[in-house]
Structure 1
Amino acid sequence: MAELAEAAGITVRTLRFYRERKLLPPPRREGRIAWYTEHHLARLRTIAALLERGHTLGGIAELLAAFESGRDVGEVLGLADALPMPWPQETPVKLTPQELADYFTGEVTPENLAASLDLGYLAVDGDDFVHVSRRLLDASRELVGKGVPLSAVLAAGRELRQHMDAVSETFTRLVRTHVLADAIARAAAGDGPTADEAAHITKTLETLRQNAKSIVDAELSLSLDRHIRAELEKWIDRPPSGRAGEDAGGQTGDQAGGQVTEAGG
């Protein structure tokens, strides 16, 4: 609970209050241990965002209850059309423990499982696991098959997560500043988007999302080209053995030439 409160930027007392008001689902328990997940953190961030927009805790509870029961949130908010949330584009994969072990033979250790769960790559679904992304799963298996330890793949994933969050923040800032500034200002004044505006914003965001992915892919490709070329140049320029300029007997070219000259003289 303390870790979740710290990640959400609230106090443990506030977190307990939210739980008492049924604003937060209970954690998964294993004995005396309570496990909170990214879903709990996302819920707390949603609550914070709604409070900043002037909603009361009672109204937030109604919104969350509507969402969980399948009611239309736009209806509860009194909006004719609500902006749709971005949909995930990665395909999750459900795996039995044996299937997961088969993917990474000999690498599914308690430490690697804990790291995968902590990163959010894996989630527990009853007796099975759910991997968040088919592409990440297959790429990880390919790396492990090439001899990279799964622990190293997960460590690299954690490092990349930080870089990708920074990249996403860059594009989000561009959109927020140059595309959605007017809509955000009207929303702050209490004017929600019309149906046409909502459709336009949704289409614009999806276009920008695809553009961002293209830019990141191109920049990564160029960066890999530079680094691979530099590594190849190092390998090509490196002498096979001994010091540069030495012959097989360990003599330099000048020394060998001098002996030949003396012998010839």
Structure 2
Amino acid sequence: MTTDDSAQREYRTAELAEAAGITVRTLRFYREKKLVPAPRREGRIAWYGPHHLARLRTIGALLERGHTLGGIAELLTAFEHGRHAGELPGLGGALGTPWSEETPVRLTPEELAGRFEGEVTPENLAASLDIGYLSVDGDELVHVSRRLLDASTALIRHGVPLSAILAAGREVRAHADALAETFTALIRTHVLAGAPPGDTARVTEALDRLRPIAKAVVEAEVSLAMDRGVRAELAGWAAETAEGCG
């Protein structure tokens, strides 16, 4: 062992196989199939780290859910060779303050699997990449928003499957784009059209003033809409309950 710190612990081949609950032969088979990264070598001794153990546990969890090794290999390939993370959203030049206040989160594939235990399937991964929640940067994944990531984690704890969360996220994204277009049209018509050519300072000042107003309007309208919708759902539920008791 190189250190007593479990976060930095290293394993010989037999030790890693025992910790992962598999045989040495299975571990070597996974290595041959490139499902597990190569170990660090000191002469003839192979040393594996915590990320190898996490990878093996991820493979085991996916196998328990009925995925084949071929499907798991495709999933890991998507992690490792997926779309490269581009520049973070934002405005450039004089309009450098983004409207969003989102903090991206970098995760290893194993960390993602641990956060969404049992929910990281090839289908959910593909949907997350397609909607833009996830992108791939080298060996890591980048989630576009800590707030959205935390919200998804909380919904899963309350029993909502990730596939349903992603489907809802796609609908919310479409409505959000429509709302953004409404405010963008106001900016185009009443701010940019009346600004002197090249007067970026005036435009920037106007946008800074409009940013909190737009957020306040959207938050208020969504809250009011939720009140109306939840009230209607509760009324329907109460009526059905009363009928069932009658």
TM over 0.5, shorter chain: yes
- How far did residue 39 of structure 1 move? 5.0
Partner of 1:201: 203
What does 1:3-22 align with in structure 2 at a 5 Å threshold? none
Alignment partners' CA distance in 2, 1:157 and 1:200: 35
- How far did residue 243 of structure 1 move? 8.5
Alignment partners' CA distance in 2, 1:213 and 1:207: 11
Change (3 A) 1:94 1:179: same
Once the two structures are overlaid, the 10-residue window that deviates more, 198-207 or 125-134, is 198-207
Partner of 1:234: 236
Alignment partners' CA distance in 2, 1:238 and 1:85: 53
What does 1:1-265 align with in structure 2 at a 5 Å threshold? 83-87=94-98, 88-183=100-195, 186-187=196-197, 192-193=198-199, 198-240=200-242
Which 4+ residue blocks in structure 1 deviate beyond 4 angstroms? 34-40, 239-244
Structure of larger gyration radius:
1
Q: Which amino acid aligns with 2:210?
A: L
Change (3 A) 1:177 1:242: closer
Q: Which amino acid aligns with 1:205?
A: L
CA contact (8 A) 2:128 2:166 kept: yes
Aligned residues: percent identity?
56
Alignment partners' CA distance in 2, 1:224 and 1:182: 36
Q: Deviations over 1:31-71 (max 9, x none)?
A: xxx9777959x9xxxxxxxxxxxxxxxxxxxxxxxxxxxxx
Change (3 A) 1:150 1:232: same
Alignment partners' CA distance in 1, 2:166 and 2:211: 26
Alignment partners' CA distance in 2, 1:149 and 1:36: 25
Structure 2: gaps spanning 5 or more residues:
1-76
Alignment partners' CA distance in 1, 2:94 and 2:140: 34
Superposition CA RMSD, Å: 2.6
What is the number of residues matched between the two proteins? 163
Partner of 1:16: none
Change (3 A) 1:239 1:161: closer
Q: Which amino acid aligns with 1:173?
A: A
- How far did residue 99 of structure 1 move? 1.1
Alignment partners' CA distance in 2, 1:121 and 1:207: 29
Q: Deviations over 1:210-260 (max 9, x none)?
A: 11111110001001111111111112222456595xxxxxxxxxxxxxxxx
Structure 1: gaps spanning 5 or more residues:
1-29, 43-72, 74-81, 245-265
CA contact (8 A) 2:85 2:142 kept: no
Change (3 A) 1:108 1:156: same
Q: Which amino acid aligns with 2:233?
A: E
Q: Secondary structure at the match of 2:106?
A: strand
Change (3 A) 1:239 1:83: closer
CA contact (8 A) 2:104 2:146 kept: yes
- How far did residue 98 of structure 1 move? 1.4
Q: Which amino acid aligns with 2:142?
A: V
Alignment partners' CA distance in 2, 1:85 and 1:172: 17
Alignment partners' CA distance in 2, 1:179 and 1:210: 16
CA contact (8 A) 2:83 2:137 kept: no
